[in-house]
């Protein structure tokens, strides 16, 4: 099946400065109207500003999944017949494509159901001892806190907390002081899902390497918006979800540095993870897992049938993002953020969260309107203006409790922009917020 997507941008050969200094003058532009035609769920009557929770899905992703179901629906790595061989070939190509997307080898890619699955996989696979320390931050999603809380209860590890500023600014000296000889793992977000603030991951990785500390990155909010190269970063583990980066639900990626993929014991075992032909045991009943041979990477980490269609869809999403290019995506994100930030700061009664400079944040914009409950603002934006945002604590209650120092965190309203959002939509959003503020705060 032929994919309908064609390049939507005009670009030169210059390299982007992804730290943001040169983004306002980048010579790469998105043909947004052309892009929007690839998203069947986009409607001129509504505005979707909840991409940080789940992005919309373009036609090439839908077509890639449909092609599998219609033309070569079979299991992978399980059959010697044509359908299975074709499915396996497409699947392996997709995994290799996803690996290149983050600068990894296919053997370092573990297919998961989402980022939460990947975080738990790491937590359950590492051999912690009582007294080991895991350092997280108050900006983390609960998915990067609860697995470590469970280990604190079951194993006796100690959870240490880095507390950023209210705007999310990452103080490297303050962070470094929290590292001790007992620190076994640092587990941090790349981009805050509440503030959009960006963690200097390469600097953190350098500190961890110097102290022989493992480094796990939750890149759920980074993968859709920023170029990622795990080798350049120097992390040990990195996770992200497909559904936030134009891909389907039900699929995520865990990058596991090759040496860890080779030596660690998978948390989940089953069909495909063990090389039974190389095992001397005649039955599994009398088999010792420690004496068995694992399958070659990455199959060692793939228990049971993987989400085949979803992996193919995620690979198509990778192609879509690569065709557009992250220079254009970063530029568009910052243009949208600059426009939205300036507009909100001009509205009386608005409380903004996160960095005030667009280049210091991703395309996440959080705010409150006076003392209005965020849930009420979200309801009004939906019912009166057909604008979809997220309201609440965004599974990051520690930020509101520890950093904002609120006894009962009420959360905030979160709008997020992506490559299919237009300037007109930003302006309609600002007009709606202003109208709500004028009506409710007067």
Q: Which of 288, 295, 293 is nearest to 272 (CA)?
A: 295
**Residues in the chain, how many?**
442
- Sheet with 390-392, strands from edge to edge, namely 350-353, 364-369, 412-416, 390-392
The catalytically annotated residue of 279, 292, 395, 440 is: 395
At 233, list the tokens.
């970063």
CA distance 235 to 374: 36
Q: Is 365 helix (H, G, I), strand (E, B) or coil?
A: strand
At 362, list the tokens.
């991703």
Q: Is 153 helix (H, G, I), strand (E, B) or coil?
A: helix
222 close to 241: Cβ distance less than 8 angstroms:
no
Q: Which of 117, 118, 194 is nearest to 374 (CA)?
A: 194
At 132, list the tokens.
């080991």
What residues form DSSP beta bridges with 185? 134, 214
To 5 degrees, how large is the angle CA 299–CA 305–CA 309?
A: 105
CA distance 437 to 347: 8
End-to-end CA distance of the chain: 57
- Torsion-angle region of 6 (φ positive above 0: left; ψ -120 to 50: alpha; else: beta): beta
Helix spans in 24-131 (H): 32-36, 59-71, 82-101, 115-125
CA distance 389 to 366: 10
Catalytic annotation present for 235: no
DSSP 25: G
DSSP 16: P
Q: Is 361 helix (H, G, I), strand (E, B) or coil?
A: strand
CA dihedral over 247, 249, 250, 254, signed as positive or negative: positive
Active-site residue list: 395
């Amino acid at each position: 099946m032929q994919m309908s997507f064609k390049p939507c941008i005009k670009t030169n050969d210059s390299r982007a400065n992804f730290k943001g200094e040169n983004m306002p003058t980048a010579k790469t532009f998105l043909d947004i109207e052309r892009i929007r035609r690839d998203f069947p769920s986009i409607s001129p009557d509504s505005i979707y500003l909840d991409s940080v929770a789940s992005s919309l899905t373009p036609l090439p992703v839908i077509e890639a999944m449909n092609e599998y179901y219609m033309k070569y629906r079979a299991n992978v790595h399980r059959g010697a017949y044509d359908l299975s061989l074709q499915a396996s070939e497409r699947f392996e190509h997709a995994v290799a494509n996803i690996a290149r997307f983050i600068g990894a080898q296919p053997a370092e890619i573990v297919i998961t159901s989402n980022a939460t699955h990947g975080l738990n996989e790491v937590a359950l696979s590492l051999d912690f001892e009582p007294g080991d320390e895991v350092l997280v931050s108050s900006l983390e999603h609960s998915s990067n806190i609860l697995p470590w809380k469970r280990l604190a209860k079951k194993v006796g590890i100690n959870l240490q907390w880095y507390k950023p500023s209210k705007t999310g600014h990452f103080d490297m000296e303050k962070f470094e002081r929290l590292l001790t000889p007992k620190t076994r793992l640092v587990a941090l977000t790349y981009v805050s899902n509440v503030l959009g603030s960006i963690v200097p991951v390469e600097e953190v990785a350098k500190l961890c390497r110097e102290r022989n500390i493992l480094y796990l990155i939750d890149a759920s909010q980074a993968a859709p918006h920023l170029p990622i190269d795990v080798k350049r970063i120097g992390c040990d583990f990195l996770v992200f979800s497909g559904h936030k980066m134009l891909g389907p639900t039900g699929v995520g990626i865990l990058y596991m540095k090759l040496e860890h993929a080779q030596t660690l014991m998978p948390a989940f075992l089953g069909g495909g993870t063990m090389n039974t032909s190389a095992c001397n045991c005649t039955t599994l009943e009398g088999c010792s897992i420690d004496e068995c041979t694992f399958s070659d990477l990455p199959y060692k980490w793939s228990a049971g049938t993987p989400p085949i269609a979803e992996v193919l869809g995620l690979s198509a999403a990778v192609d879509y993002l690569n065709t557009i290019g992250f220079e254009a995506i970063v530029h568009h994100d910052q243009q949208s953020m600059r426009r939205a930030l300036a507009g909100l700061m001009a509205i009386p009664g608005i409380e903004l969260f996160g960095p005030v400079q667009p280049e210091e944040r991703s395309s996440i914009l959080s705010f409150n309107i006076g003392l209005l409950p965020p849930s009420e603002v979200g309801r009004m934006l939906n019912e009166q203006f057909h604008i979809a945002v997220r309201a609440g604590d965004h599974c990051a209650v520690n930020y509101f409790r520890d950093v904002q120092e609120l006894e009962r965190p009420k959360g905030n309203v979160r709008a997020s922009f992506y490559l299919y959002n237009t300037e007109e939509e930003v302006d309609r959003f600002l007009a709606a917020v202003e109208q709500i503020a004028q009506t409710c705060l007067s």
